[in-house]
Amino acid sequence: MDNPTMKMDKAAIGLSLLCVVHCLLTPIAIVMFPALGAAFLEDERFHYALLFLVLPTSLVSLGLGCRKHGHLEILAIGFSGLLVLLLTVILGDELLGESGEKISTIVGALIIAVAHIRNFRACQNKRCNGPEQS
C-alpha cells in the first residue's frame, strides 16, 4: 500500500503534467472553443491556482521523502523546478513573452515531475513510512 509521501508524489506528478498539458493544449482549445479559453484557461488565476497546489504538495512530499531516504539531490532538483515555476509566474509574459512563459512553465513542470518520480522510486526502495520500519 502507498504511504502518504508516495501518494503526494503521485499527486504532484499529476499536477506537473497538468501544467504541461495546459501549456500545450490551451492554444488548440482556444481555437476550437474560444469561449472556454477566454473564460478559464487563459485566466492568470488558473496559473496561480496550479502553483498554489503544486508548491505545498511538492515541498511536503519531497521534504518528507528526503528525510526518509536521504537523497538531497532529489530535493535540489525539485526546488530548482519550483524556482523555475515561481520565476515564470513572477516575470510573466511581459518579460518572457508568451512563448518564453510557456517554455519556462513546461521546463519547470517537467523538472518537478522528474524529482517526484525519483522521490517515489527512492521511497519504494527504502519503504519510506512503511509499517515494516521500526
Mean pLDDT value across the chain: 78
* Within-domain flag for 132: no
* Within-domain flag for 40: yes
Q: How many CB atoms lie within 10 A of CB 134?
A: 2
* Within-domain flag for 131: no
* Within-domain flag for 27: yes
Total of domains in the chain: 1
49-72: b or e for each residue (b if 16 or more CB lie within 10 Å)? ebbebbbebbbebbebbbebbebe
Range of the domain at 31: 4-126
Nearest C-alpha neighbor of 93 from the set 81, 84, 85, 102: 102
* Within-domain flag for 26: yes
Does the global pTM surpass 0.85? Answer: no
Residue 54 has which C-alpha cell? Answer: 503544486
pLDDT at 105 over 80: yes
User: How far is 98 from 129, CA to CA, in rounded Å?
Assistant: 42
Instruction: Read off the pLDDT of each residue in 88-92 and give the average, rounded to a whole number.
Output: 85
* Within-domain flag for 134: no
Report the run of H or E that residue 91 belongs to, with start and end: helix 72-126
* Within-domain flag for 133: no
* Within-domain flag for 42: yes
Residue 61 has which C-alpha cell? Answer: 512530499
pLDDT at 77 over 90: yes
Residue 27 dihedral angles phi and psi, to the nearest 5°: -60, -40
Q: Which is more confident, 62 or 77?
A: 77
